A and B are shown apart, each in its own frame.
Chain A
Amino acid sequence: EAGVTQFPSHSVIEKGQTVTLRCDPISGHDNLYWYRRVMGKEIKFLLHFVKESKQDESGMPNNRFLAERTGGTYSTLKVQPAELEDSGVYFCASSQEGGAGVLGEQFFGPGTRLTVL
């Protein structure tokens, strides 16, 4: 069974440009999470989807970030316009109903490394 996949693996853009990151969760996983790790710091929660609905978006840093999960399958995270401080590694994770605290673990993708110049 395929794990969580993310695309692209790396992205280098200039300040002010737009970038869209994609995450394909494990098939059948209703929960989808986005996280971000800025260089040398902790991995921080951005938001949580349950199917196509945003369950919690308290970690989204500002309105330059837009996440969608149309149809409750894959998700995209768009940054527009990108700023220097948006550089980091963006992780996606998915889990079955109930999430890590109840039924099991969150399965993470390999991450997308975003560099904003």
Chain B
Amino acid sequence: GDSVTQMEGPVTLSEEAFLTINCTYTATGYPSLFWYVQYPGEGLQLLLKATKADDKGSNKGFEATYRKETTSFHLEKGSVQVSDSAVYFCALSSSNTGNQFYFGTGTSLTVIP
């Protein structure tokens, strides 16, 4: 079945450091891929998405490229800020699975000044 494997956390970085959170997936069809973020005390928010191979999703300085050959969707940001501290979830969804989401375990990021 479909699944997502996400880099274990927690991750602690200094402000302005480079961030990579790895995500790989297994899917039978052609899924859309997502990164969701949950800030402390809030719900899940869509951070970025990509709907087909080689698409790059980007938002708030974060980027992720849909790599079909490596079945990956790694999240990157060149310079993190304290306000980026949150839990990040990689997810996939496809019409093959009724559009339900399959999530990774989440990666907690803490950025220290």
When distances are taken between beta carbons in the complex, the residues of chain A under 8 Å from B81 are none
B21-48 residues with Cβ-Cβ distance < 8 A to A are 31-32, 34, 36, 41-46
CB atoms of B43 and A109 under 8 A apart: yes
Answer yes or no: A91 CB below 8 A from chain B CBs. Answer: yes
CB closest chain-B residue, reference A43: B103
- Which of A31, A42, A56, A106: most chain B Cβ within 10 A? A42
When distances are taken between beta carbons in the complex, the residues of chain A under 8 Å from B100 are 33, 45, 48, 56, 59
- Which of B6, B103, B106: most chain A Cβ within 10 A? B103
CB atoms of A42 and B105 under 8 A apart: yes
CB atoms of A100 and B34 under 8 A apart: yes
CB atoms of A100 and B101 under 8 A apart: yes
Secondary structure call for the B interface = strand
Number of interface residues of B (CB under 8 A): 27
Interface size class of A (residues with CB under 8 A): 20 to 34
CB atoms of B101 and A4 under 8 A apart: no
Answer yes or no: B65 CB below 8 A from chain A CBs. Answer: no
CB atoms of A101 and B44 under 8 A apart: no
Answer yes or no: A53 CB below 8 A from chain B CBs. Answer: no
- Min CB–CB distance B51 → chain A (angstroms): 8
Enumerate chain A interface residues (CB-CB to B < 8 A). 3-4, 31, 33, 35, 37, 40-45, 48, 55-56, 59, 91, 93, 95, 98-102, 105-111
Extra contacts besides A35-B101, A48-B100, A91-B44 (9): CB < 8 Å: A40-B105, A42-B4, A42-B104, A43-B106, A45-B102, A55-B98, A99-B99, A101-B32, A110-B42
